[in-house]
Structure 1
Amino acid sequence: MGTKDRVIKLQNTKTRKKEVFAPINAENVRMYVCGPTVYDRAHLGNARPVVVFDVLYRLLREVYGPNAVTYARNFTDVDDKINTRAAESGRPIGDITAETVQWFLDDMGALGALEPNHMPRATQYIPQMVAMIEDLIAKGHAYAAEGHVLFAVDSWKTLYGKLSGRSVDDMIAGARVEVAPYKKNPMDFVLWKPSSDDLPGWDSPWGRGRPGWHIECSAMSYELLGETFDIHGGGNDLMFPHHENEIAQSCCANGDDSFARYWLHNEMLQVEGKKMSKSLGNFFTVRDLLDQGYPGEVIRLVFLQTHYRKPMDWTDKKAKEAEATLRKWRALTAGIEPASSAAAAVLDALADDLNSAGAIAELHKLYAAGNAADLLASAQMLGLLTGEMGAWAAATSVDLSRYEAQLFEARQKAMESKDFSAVDQLKAAFVAAGLEVRMSKAGVELVPGTGFDPAKLEEL
């Protein structure tokens, strides 16, 4: 494995600077990432932070050792969206959340994501949330009102907004805050709310109810990683209010300005240059793409080709190029033993604020140099070219050169006879088999595309 003296630099949202990563304890590096609310299939945008922080997890394991890194990612399994889905479908909430959790794990596994060390569900940590809320009330940072408990933003006003770079006044002016008569300040947010008999609820000092969204991550990260840990990650859409509120709660509960030391946020995902939305017809779940024949490994490579702090654009063209690249890499590394560790240049790129695009560029260089062992070790460190992800690419071993020669010869004859029917028939057969046909003066090239079926070539 790697060496602990390798310098990792990360862009810390909290300080707006790229900082040298210095773990609190190099023998116990800890990371928490906000996970999904489980009421439906994960869409393509949900997958981006999973892949981004999976790569960071892999890098930390490479540098500090696999047993020295603890990664926690939660499941929000108590939420109004889940309640609505249950009411609409008539299905029990527990059935919906259990099914959706498994969907998520299956789909993210198909993208090569390692499972975190801890995957806590909010409903498993209600007592810890109640205890933290009681502590916040005792310290004057929260108050009970009409069956609710609210965090008092004024009690933390000097530091509230530091992560997102906003003042409380700016946030009040620009935010859609829930107006409620029991709030002392419009920005005060819910830690606990009452539940009617038809909704999930737990007994508490404030009556039967359920937690607000923000308190769950504070309570679970404290329980699993301690009051101070190394890295907190998520999509930049969570920066405000979710992460801002997490910091406020946790720091007030801890009694000081300690919580997560490094905050990382990934940018959002687009499809063919536009924001993904159902109204535009460009909304895809990960399962949609897998069912359409896009291999998970291809989806992963498309993701890794863009730096995590830049908007990522999913396009069909990128997917086809990624598939062609992976087929070439798999052909070169077939039957090869990987090197003992990833190439230094690949690790250097990742250590520079998780520059996965730079790391992929280094993989291209290793391929060009014919360095199969280093290519395989480096790609596998990034979650590519692994055995369990390779079934889709079994056709890589098919020698297409004889089919290219067959089409080239048919074209030569057609040039003389002016009868191109045989050429057209071959081209149609190759396209039907999932090959892209590229013809030029220099020759013929057949490129496997999504859904390439070599069995269809045997008929030729």
Structure 2
Amino acid sequence: MPIRVYNTLSRTKEEFVPLQANRVSMFVCGLTPQDETHMGHAKTYVAFDVVARFLRHKGYHVFYLQNVTDIEDRIIEKMQKTGREWKDIVNQYFAEYLEVMDALRCNSVDVYAFATDYIDDIIAQILGLVKKGHAYVAEDGSVYYDTTTFSGWGKLSGQKVESLRPGARVAIEERKRHPADFVLWRARKPGEPAWDSPWGKGRPGWHIEDTAITIRHFGPQYDLHGGATELMFPHHEAEIAQAEAYTGITPFVKYWMHGGMVTVKGEEMHKSLGNYWPVKAALKLYEPEVIRFFLINVQYRGPIDFAPELLDEAKRSYERLRETTRTLEAERRRAPGSGKGDRSLNASTAKALADFDAAMSDDFSTREAIAVIFDYGRAVNKSIETGAGRAALDDAAQAFRTFGE
């Protein structure tokens, strides 16, 4: 069954056909390691771990790239407040992130690309944008992207240059020619980390790192870009503007996928709002399998309005499913070669595998896929009561392993 993906760029579900047969280039916006990984982060990275796993299950060779924003305003702010080196801050929180991802079985990423390892690529891209008239150098040595030169601005988010007022979701800076313009290279300020450039010492802007990293690894086009919905504008819009203006090739990304946010009483989960829950704290109360189950029991585009009671509910549901697999394993060891429940169980197994594949092939609909698994669990329990044989039970156990891949 072909996979269909909801493409934010076209606002429709499209059949997934990668640029190269059976090979998928996949990039997801990664962490800024300056604080604890919370449940909002986890939802995004668990969701795209599922995407990568299912694509591989379907036979695609997936190269999954994730960036690490290791220099950014919040890191510098923490450095200045604590007196610690920026690299020490990054190393601490990135190590904690990897620990959390390992606990949640998010192990599908092939390369974590640190922004500061791509300074030469970033500078080369900025030079190209300046040469082509898409960027300009300010008096202090900062470089800005001129959004009025890119006719495609807004095609992902619907936000048009002419409708953007000063301060509308982008920083107000006097050096900018237009409110929508964004920084590519920021001139050094006292006490901040800086790198040499043709415009003097400074550091890269937030948006430019992603296009520098992906062009290095994938070239001017790739298949799938994932990230949280709140990054659509201005971040992902800026990526498109940078890459397509620099390379002259459209589209920069074939499929854009955006995951729903985790909210608390309708507000985005964020430390500044005092409503965030670190994953490490959740892991002290719940098994990692329960947290992962909770996060995928909603289609990736859907939001989760978080409350601890929902995790309790997920724990109870997951335990019911686990009890079914335990019963199945115990029955397999003592069952005869065949039984009167075989025909029914074999039919249920075939149907469950087909329905699971259909659900996941429909824009990675994990919630529907989980419903298939629970329906199948009830059929397995009924067949065990009827008296199924070992061969049919072995196939059932293999089906559960397939669901968990």
Instruction: Give the structure-1-normalised TM-score.
Output: 0.76
1:355 matched residue in structure 2: 365
The aligned residue for residue 301 of structure 1 is: 293
Q: Does 1:13 align with 2:23?
A: no
Aligned residues: 370
Residue 308 of structure 1 and its aligned partner are, at CA, apart by 1.6
8 Å contact from structure 1 (residues 346, 378) kept in 2: no
CA distance in 1, matches of 2:43, 2:260: 9
**Alignment pair present for 1:42 and 2:37:** yes
RMSD over aligned CA atoms reads 2.1
Are the equivalent residues in 2 in contact too, given 1:43–1:285 (CA < 8 A)?
yes
2:317 to 321, 325, 341: 325
1:214 aligns with 2:228: no
Please tell me the residue identity of whatever aligns with 2:142: H
Equivalent positions of 1:184-199 (< 5 A) are 184-199=177-192
> 8 Å contact 1:191–1:212 — kept in the other structure?
yes
In the TM superposition, what whole-angstrom CA distance separates every residue of 1:65-121 from its partner, at most 9, and x where no partner exists?
A: 4xx110011110001100111111111111110111111111122112124111100
Contact 1:302 1:314 in 2 (8 A): no
1:380 matched to 2:375? no
Measure the CA separation in 2 of the matches of 1:237 and 1:318. 23
Query: Structure 2 CA distance, aligned partners of 1:42 and 1:353?
Result: 26
More divergent stretch after superposition (35-44 vs 194-203): 194-203
- Write the distance in 2 (CA, Å) between the matches of 1:14 and 1:169: 20
Q: Report the equivalent of 2:146.
A: 152
Work out which of the two has the higher radius of gyration on C-alpha atoms and give 1 or 2.
1
Q: CA shift at 1:151, angstroms? A: 0.7
In 1, Cα distance between the equivalents of 2:167 and 2:353? 47
**Conserved? CA contact 2:167–2:179, under 8 Å:** no
Gaps of 5+ in 1: 1-5, 382-460
Alignment of 1:339-418 (within 5 A): 343-370=353-380, 372-381=396-405
Aligned partners of 2:69, 2:224: CA distance in 1, in Å?
Answer: 20
Relative to structure 1, the CA distance from residue 123 to residue 275 in structure 2 (aligned partners, 3 Å threshold; closer, same or farther) is: closer
Q: How far apart are the structure 1 equivalents of 2:354 and 2:401?
A: 11
Question: Closer, same or farther in 2 for the Cα pair 1:32/1:312, shift >3 Å?
Answer: same
Other-structure match for 1:123: 116
CA distance in 2, matches of 1:329, 1:120: 37
Decide whether the 8 Å contact of 2:79 with 2:86 is kept in 1.
yes
Q: How does 1:423-442 map to 2 (within 5 A)?
A: none
Pick 1 or 2: higher relative contact order, CA cutoff 8 A, min separation 6: 2
> Match of 2:155?
162
Q: Which moved more, 1:362-371 or 1:211-220?
A: 362-371
Name 2:390's counterpart in structure 1. Answer: none
Structure 2 residue aligned with 1:398:
none
- Aligned residue type for 2:95: Q
Is the deviation greater in 115-124 or in 240-249? 115-124
Instruction: Deviation per CA, 1:233-263: give whole Å up to 9, x if none.
Output: 1001000000000000000111132311100
Alpha-carbon separation, structure 2, partners of 1:279 and 1:74: 24
Instruction: Describe the SS at the equivalent of 2:149.
Output: helix
Structure 2 distance, partners of 1:188, 1:173, is 10
1:59 corresponds to 2:54:
yes
- Could you say what secondary structure the match of 1:192 adopts? strand
Q: Distance in 2 between matches of 1:222 and 1:277?
A: 31
Any conservation in 1 of the 2:53–2:108 contact (CA below 8 Å)?
no
Residue of 105, 127, 131 corresponding to 2:98: 105
> For the structure 1 residues 94 and 255, does the alpha-carbon distance in structure 2 shift closer, same or farther, using more than 3 Å as the test?
same
Alignment of 1:219-234 (within 5 A): 219-234=212-227
Indicate how the Cα distance of structure 1 residues 375 and 366 shifts in structure 2: closer, same or farther if over 3 A, else same.
Answer: farther
| CA deviation after TM superposition for structure 1 residue 275, in Å | 4.3
Shift, 1:331, TM fit:
3.0
Residue 189 of structure 1: how far off its partner (Å)? 0.8
- The answer to whether structure 1 residue 84 and structure 2 residue 94 are counterparts is no
- Name segments (4+ residues, structure 1) moved above 4 Å: 272-275, 277-281
| Equivalent-residue separation in structure 2 for 1:55 and 1:139 (angstroms) | 40
Residue in 2 that maps onto 1:448: none
